[in-house]
Structure 1
């Protein structure tokens, strides 16, 4: 029963992760797209925190039925999603795709709060006409002109999981118990990291459209790298290569602080941006295929890391943090060299930033650039 339930849950989570970021990106104005899209990640972090609080509370129930309450509780957000989805309007892109141009324009005017949407509406029409010429998005996404988006759809979720965040969030109680916290203390420490996760995501929402995606990626990556190295050093000094030893309360608290700094860095960088950036870079004609690849890669490596973490911890011990730190260094360099800034760029004009990039420009033909007339985008947005 539990296995079947998990399979059904996987389908639901997969559908939600596929649709929600794209929906938010299509509905949001360019200048607020980052903040509104990150509401998705904020909801996830709040859900993680609530789950940790529920688990902490049900663990105090001595009669042995607390785990049932934890499982029942998961039905609450599912019910909210079902009811809430009944009231969601279609995006302008979706309405245009289905031939309802007048409804699409009215919806665009409604979500933008102005009647002056002619330029953006024309971009949507052009994107829709282009997408209708593509009969096989899964085949077409392999074409050279979509190479930047395809690489990002694979690399970003791959790197996101190799930050090691799921090691921390999934196994925080196990990890903290291993380094000296008791059962209740380890659960409470997991709650603390959950609170940090939520607060840092709020910071990201406030900053992403002001300072841009690249700055948050680079700053967050640097902070995660430093935190992981220090955690590895502290655990290595206390437990050595044998993995046997004890940790004083002071060192245990230091590890908790470093983990919180790591979680905060992830929560305002790779956490929300790992969903935001892929959802806003795909042209309409390959958007469904691109987002599906993004979600699939993310879930695949979530599964792999979750399965091998405990074994890796047993064999690599403190070296595990250096392992993930090495990947954080690689992914930070990847962002520095290969990801252009996407803030304030209308979603249907995204090819212009690829065209202006030092590496990706050779893949983007001139005719693939929509909005060449200059409306809605200045030169400073594509550097």
Structure 2
């Protein structure tokens, strides 16, 4: 090649080209200018990527992908909420007999005792409680209000145990106008059940008219004392309070809620967990569910006298007055222990809440996740829970059910307000 100063006039210098060999990283010694077409193409690609990410975020796909790669771990501590009611028997036995503590291993267990579902949900929403036993309706309300973000139901605990007990001067379901009844709390599961039951029989509720039925929410223990004083005409609530009203105060069972559901099965107590906690510590939740299975197995297989003693000790630890063994025995006949969350009943429970005016209609997709409880059951060689249960049909003339205090019914007549 001739030196530059020896090139002929008008001769162009050669283009320097670098050959890139596979596996060898070399830098070009010269740069090509991109030009406007390439810049525009790059911006278009960036816009497509941005729009795609926005769409994926909007429909939840990107969140799901991010969640899938989120690192999870055992929690150092878990706070469990429950009630001092017999309908929370698996919680009482699980705490009293140490089933939860043993299943959790190195995770420290702390507990908080509540007396209503709405107050339990408030504690969960504030982060004070991680997982709690409660009735299904407060959990549904929280799920709906949060757009499906607050809680996830991971198991059942109890079916049955809720009854409508009335004073002995109530002649039947046609004799309720102008009377006052109590429920554990506004928007709670039994509160919703009573409101819907009354509305379906043509009663006005809390309108102030002479024919209206008044509902006064109050904690179950307070309702028992108020019923004893004669200040309310009845109570739709859980065990053991309704049995105590029948045995000790001469009340009568107007409605046993089992009679309003197919096969007499419906969720009275479920186990719900803060969704954020579940996402961060699924292993811990699964371990606690192992303790729940141990507790339910114990309640189902131990001698009745031992179960009664355990439940009494558990209620006393939960600051609930110990009961006579006969009272607990009668209460147990009205309940079934089960870890089945009975998922297919929730559309009806939501519909009831909407009718009662305590919640709004919404999708319940994601409200129940029985994956964890079924993993535990599979490891133990047990059949999975879940499956279909027909929606409840609340008959317009549901009969009262016999119990400790007798039974009242009106032969299916609908009250004309």
Taking structure 1 as the reference length, what is the TM-score of the superposition? 0.26
When Rg is computed on C-alpha atoms for both structures, the one with the higher figure is 2
Greater strand percent: which structure? 2
- What TM-score, normalized by structure 2, do the two folds share? 0.25
More helix by share: 1
